[in-house]
Amino acid sequence: MTTYHAATEAVLKLIQKVQREHHMELDGWKLEVVFRTEAARTKGKTVLGKARLVSGLNSYLAREGGNAFFVLELADDAWDALRESQREALIDHELCHFQIKTTEDGDEIPYLAPHDLEEFNDIVRRRGLWKPDLVAFAEAAQLPLFGKALDGWKIERSSNGDPGDRPIDKDLQGVAAGRRGEATEGAPA
């Protein structure tokens, strides 16, 4: 059974660091950070983190008087499988979801922003960078296309040329397999 607990002081300091560096617009907004004991899985993939907006009745019941606030949910098992640079990237990613818009009346309203990009790897392989958000993403990434490592990640290619699992994927597959009671590499069944 999944249970929840508060983030450690070290995690909160890392979040504050990333927020100070890249998300100053969140200053003054309440952000709660919770850990769950086991990572959720969605569509066969491990959910590393989840950004939530608590508002309305839920905010009222949380003793916030109906004032909306943000919640960052992380998972112990997935967090433990990440290197420090990956933890920072995860936090940065989730904080990007937390946005504030200003109405015509000058009121600030928090909301959850969607991802900038949604596409299938197969479509990019077959069709290339066929729409503006793909081009913007490729420009932002500034990554070489053929097997160059990024922060210790090796891009492995299978016999058909598809990218193989990166180290984090293998680590998280072990997390998920262990939760299902399956044998994981180096661990008894």
Rounded to two decimals, the pTM is 0.74
Distance CA 178, CA 76 (A): 13
Domain count, the chain: 2
Full pLDDT tens readout for the chain, 189 residues: 999 999 999 999 999 999 999 999 999 999 999 999 999 999 999 999 999 999 999 999 999 888 999 999 999 999 999 999 999 999 999 999 999 999 999 999 999 999 999 888 999 899 988 988 888 888 888 755 544 444 444 444 444 444 444 444 555 555 555 554 544 333 333
Assess if residue 184 is contained within a domain.
Answer: no
Assess if residue 40 is contained within a domain.
Answer: yes
The pair of structure tokens assigned to 3 is 């249970």
Assess if residue 144 is contained within a domain.
Answer: yes
Greatest Cα pair distance, the chain, in angstroms, is 61
Shared-domain flag, residues 101 and 126: no
Domain of residue 48, residue span: 4-112
Shared-domain flag, residues 79 and 152: no
